[in-house]
Structures are given as C-alpha cells and as structure tokens.
Amino acid sequence: MQSAEKSSSRTSNRQKSTQKDESMIDYKINGRIITNELNTFFQNWKSPPSTETRSKLLTGSDLVITAREDGRLVGFLTAISDGAMHAFITLLEVLESHQNKGIGKHLMELAISNFKGYYDIVLITDPDKGEFYKKLGFREIYGMHIRDFTYGKDKK
C-alpha cells in the first residue's frame, strides 16, 4: 500500500550536451498517476500492458515515484515490497524526449533511499541497461523466473 505523498524538486545538473536542460522536475514519492498518463510510455515494448493492467499495477504497487515537468508526467518508477527486507523495482520509465537528463537516476536514488536498510533491492533488466544500474550500485546476481512470453498478445 502506498503511504503519504512526499515531494522534492531539483533542477537537472546534466548539461553535457549542447542543449542546456534547465527544466525543473518535480519528484513525488507516492505521487498519484492517472492511468491515461501512462499512454505515452512503454513505447518500445512488444506487448505493452493493457489499460486495465496499467490501472491495476498502479494501485497494486507499494511505491510509485513520479517525475513531472510543469505537471506533465515525464518519468515514473514502481516497486513492490514486504515492507521490511525485500523490495522489487518493477518499472522504471522515462519519456524518450526526457532521457539522458538524470531523471531515471534520480528516480532510482529516491527508491533506493526509500528502501534503505532492506536486505535486498532487486530488479530485472536487459543487458543494455546493465551499466545504468551498476552506476547506482547494483550488481549482477544469479536468479530464476517464469516469464509468460505470450503475455498481453491477445489483450487490448
């Protein structure tokens, strides 16, 4: 279950590219997301979650962190946890237009800080995202899972 909303704002300090990014991003721990706000995410997914699934995953997550620019959702993170020992970061998505500006990193830092003192914070990712997570202190482990590769195929 999500608890009270906490908010923080910070200006991105990422100014390596020629385009300066001075935009103020508002981060909220346990920020609210309206299901339709997720329509612009999951762009490169083969089987993006249906509207019904998006709604369920938002209400079923123990932690939702939002990143908003002028009110618009530009990134978010969801996680589930047992509240004491284990946390699983389930989704991290930043709009393509807002990637490489430090938003994903800050969402992760807020989640890690939220689960401080836990035995394990885990996530599943693709090999090409490994370096992103290693910079945040994550290490590769041996793991097992069951994945339904037909997931979402015949759903809206």
Ligand X SMILES: CC(C)(COP(=O)(O)OP(=O)(O)OC[C@H]1O[C@@H](n2cnc3c(N)ncnc32)[C@H](O)[C@@H]1OP(=O)(O)O)[C@@H](O)C(=O)NCCC(=O)NCCS
Residue 135 binds ligand X (CB under 6 A): yes
The span of 3-11, 47-55, 101-109, 139-147 binding ligand X (CB under 6 A) equals: 101-109
Residue 39 or residue 99: which is nearer to ligand X going by CB? 99
Sign of CA dihedral 150, 154, 155, 156: positive
- Options 59, 125, 137, 155; binder of ligand X; rule CB under 6 A: 125
Nearest residue to ligand X on Cβ basis: 104
CA–CA distance, 136 with 153 (Å, rounded to integer): 33
In the block, which residue shows the tokens 């706000």? 37
The DSSP H or E segment spanning 73 is strand 72-81
Q: Are strands 86-94 and 120-123 parallel, antiparallel or unpaired?
A: parallel
Task: Name the segment binding ligand X (CB under 6 A); options: 24-32, 98-106, 110-118, 144-152.
Answer: 98-106
Interface of this chain with ligand X, residues 5 to 34, rule: CB under 6 A: none
Question: For the stretch 1-27, what's the b/e string if a residue is b when 16 or more beta carbons lie within 10 angstroms of its beta carbon?
Answer: eeeeeeeeeeebeeeeeeeebeeebbb
From the list 31-39, 56-64, 103-111, 139-147, the region that binds ligand X by CB under 6 A is: 103-111
**Which residue of 100, 109, 112, 118 would you call a contact of ligand X, by CB under 6 A?**
100
94 binds ligand X (CB under 6 A): yes
Question: How far is it, in rounded angstroms, from Cα 31 to Cα 6?
Answer: 8
Residue from the set 61, 62, 102, 114 that interacts with ligand X by CB under 6 A: 102
Q: Which tokens sit at 2?
A: 């999500």
Distance CA 132, CA 57 (A): 24
Q: Which residues bind ligand X (CB under 6 A)?
A: 92-94, 99-105, 125, 128-129, 131-132, 135
